Structures are given as structure tokens and as C-alpha cells.
């Protein structure tokens, strides 16, 4: 009886056509999204600022894009989520503010100011993530930078 309902029902045929159409469109979107992700990730440069402590699950990262002289500062914390015998790393970030880079205002100087201002993190791991190209920060660069930084720290 179920087979007869499924095969005879025009609504079910229409739903199947919609799903088939959407599936093809989603494959294209996912493929192009993957290509964009890989392109942006390939253009990122990540390196530590100063000495990296043994425990680097918490710290700061600086994010800059293109020729802009403004750099964003984020505080991060890595967490582990365990699900059914699998472990995942997550990164929680907090936007701390912007600073303007100059000959005098260096990454090392900003790191020292962060240590002075935030006593709860006396020996933070600090990284900079830079790219020469201009990307939308919140929509594109930040999510990819976070994921790349997690991989960088774990390697």
C-alpha cells in the first residue's frame, strides 16, 4: 500500500524533482565555497609574536587584511568537545579592539600592552594572521583564520 501511495502521488513526484534540482544547485554552491575557502586559506600567513608558552590554549591573535594599517585584536580560548569517541577543537573568540600599525606601534609592543592591561593572562600565546589581499573580515577572513589558527596551534 505504501509503495502504491509513493508511486501514484503527484505530490511525491514533485517533491522528488525539487530535491533533485536543489541537490544539483547545492553541489555547485558547496564546490565554489570550498574553492573560495581554499584560496583564502592559502593566502594567510600565521606566525607567533615573541615566545610561545607551553600551554597555548588561551591567548590573543591579531588579524589584518590587505593594505589597511588597522589590525583587529581578538582573545581566544580553545576547548575540546567530545562526542561519541571523537574529539573536536572549538575556538571561542572575543573582539578586543583595533590598533593602528606604525613604525613605533609594533606587534611586540601591543603584546606587552595586552599583558599589562589583562593580568588574568600573564603569559599569553600571541599570533598574527595576515593576508596581503582584501577580504571581508567578519564574513570571510575571521572564520577561516580561526580554523587555520586551531590547526597551526595543534601541529
The better pLDDT of the pair 14, 40 is held by: 40
8 A C-beta contact, residue 92 and residue 58: no
Would you state the pLDDT for residue 129?
A: 96
Please choose, from the candidates 36, 29, 1, the residue with its C-alpha nearest in 3D space to the C-alpha of residue 144. 36
Cross-strand bridge partners of residue 88: 81
Residue 2, pLDDT above cutoff 60 = no
Mean pLDDT of 128-134: 94
> Which tens digit of pLDDT belongs to each residue from 51-97?
989 889 999 999 998 888 899 999 999 988 878 888 888 899 999 99
Tell me which of 38-42, 43-47, 75-79, 84-88 is least confident: 84-88
**pTM for the whole thing?**
0.81
Instruction: Evaluate if residue 5 carries a pLDDT over 70.
Output: no
What residue spans of the chain are helical by DSSP H? Answer: 2-8, 10-42, 107-117, 142-154
Indicate if the pLDDT at residue 8 is higher than 70.
no
84-100 pLDDT tens trace: 888 888 899 999 999 98
Give me the pLDDT at residue 58, please. 94
12: confidence class by pLDDT, cuts 50, 70, 90:
confident
The more confident residue out of 25 and 125 is 125
H or E element at residue 62: strand 58-65
Amino acid at each position: 500500500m505504501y509503495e502504491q501511495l509513493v508511486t501514484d502521488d503527484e505530490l511525491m513526484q514533485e517533491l522528488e524533482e525539487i530535491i533533485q534540482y536543489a541537490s544539483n544547485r547545492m553541489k555547485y554552491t558547496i564546490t565554489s565555497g570550498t574553492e573560495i575557502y581554499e584560496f583564502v586559506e592559502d593566502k594567510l600567513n600565521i606566525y607567533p609574536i615573541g615566545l610561545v608558552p607551553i600551554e597555548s590554549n588561551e591567548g590573543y591573535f591579531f588579524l589584518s587584511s590587505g593594505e589597511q594599517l588597522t589590525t583587529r585584536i581578538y582573545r581566544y580560548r580553545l576547548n575540546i568537545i567530545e562526542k561519541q569517541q571523537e574529539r573536536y577543537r572549538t575556538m571561542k573568540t572575543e573582539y578586543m579592539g583595533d590598533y593602528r600599525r606604525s613604525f613605533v606601534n609594533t606587534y611586540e609592543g601591543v603584546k606587552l600592552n595586552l599583558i599589562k592591561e589583562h593580568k588574568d593572562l600573564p603569559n599569553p600565546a600571541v599570533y598574527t594572521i595576515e593576508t596581503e589581499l582584501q577580504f571581508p573580515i567578519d564574513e570571510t577572513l575571521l572564520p577561516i583564520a580561526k580554523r587555520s589558527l586551531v590547526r597551526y596551534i595543534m601541529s
